[in-house]
Structure 1
């Protein structure tokens, strides 16, 4: 078998593979992916080969592509095909039925939250879904980042950033994958460091701290955690960071910087 991706492989290589035949090979399977979605080769180039390929007694050709049902060239191409099959995307309910069937085959039990997390991650990628179930069967656990919703993930990310953990970039990527927008994440970062600065500045004034907690609507658990995290920084450092964030706010909105750069800068222990 020889497999080609029309996005990556030159058509001359695909054509040569179809024409070259080993003396000891009775049949050859040639798989060509994404020919119609690729813009590298004109359909007319393929059309010149189709008649001879169709009559070949030696080669079997399989074409795989996506979102091409309405393309004029594809409809014409189907006249040369001995067989064709359309694989439609599964509905969420069908995906869930597949997941539960595969879980049953592996004698696995997952919570509804874990099942939803897997479906959100793999969508219609049934192979990926089954492969992940195999890993879980062998003892692997679903990572926390997969199970958590967007709001929970932002708190995990902020904790990691404030504490300068090495997994901060991965948590940022997880937020992007969950659909969080750059400005939303940046606003959360600014709010966190503003709160840290205020708590550090008025650390010795309990009445003011209580007022900050109420006026900014900070949850008691989050407030307690911020108090502990503020001990990691000096007042001067937090003041510098907050000023930098105000500068980054303008640069980010003007497209002059990226959030990834800002995050790496904040992780710099020299600050």
Structure 2
């Protein structure tokens, strides 16, 4: 995060797994402690944080730590329309952004800043559907310049991997854990799971736990790779979308018997809701299954058929509201604003209210 002396980094893109992996790598690096170098990490929800909270996180010099990583979620999204930084404005939002810009321009040397934005396509920034096919990084860099952050910030985009890139990633992940796999078997995994790297990571973990030898054979894959996790997520989404929410109360606890963490389940729910929203858009255009596969980045007919079936007659407004609530809870866990033990009670209660 010190490229050309810049201590602010902004990450975005559609590949949530790689974004999460990158954040974890920075956090792990910052929290590796020894007697000479102690670091700490602060998490902030940029959409809800007050100016005072941001000032405290950005400007306060750590007392015990030598370095300080501050991870801020969706701060630029909140202030993206305050692009006239040269003129004073009577608008409160504009004044707030100019104050934040002053913080960024005078960061203590101990601070490293990571801005995490939810943007997946340029239209998430501009709000214009016709911008979907533009280059996201170009749009982000343009916005950063208009906000007065160009000389302070580097940007990184995490894209979905192409099939050949998925195969390479699978091979590398296994090799890093002392296992070897043929190109053909890596391709089998990639073709079955598709561009869902959360599932890929889970399948690789199962392979590592199951396979005792150094070489991953095809029979290992036949035993391990299955649709159990996908069906659990499908079921959980169905229950949350079910109008008979009383039934959901009775059935949701059984889904957690698999041992998946709350954070993992929320990430998978968020991903599933995004897929349903895209599928809903495609269904209105009578799209072919090939187009579904291309747009969703999924190559398994089984998974595509389940998504098409699940989206059915679901109302787009309901899908969007549930996705928004899941995203809010995900950030709340990351920033410590909510106890993960009550996350799903909160989610279900929200469905009851709405």
Same fold (TM over 0.5): no
Which structure would you say has the larger RCO, counting Cα contacts within 8 Å and 6 or more residues apart? 2
With normalisation by structure 1, the TM-score equals: 0.45
**Structure index of larger Rg:** 1
With normalisation by structure 2, the TM-score equals: 0.36
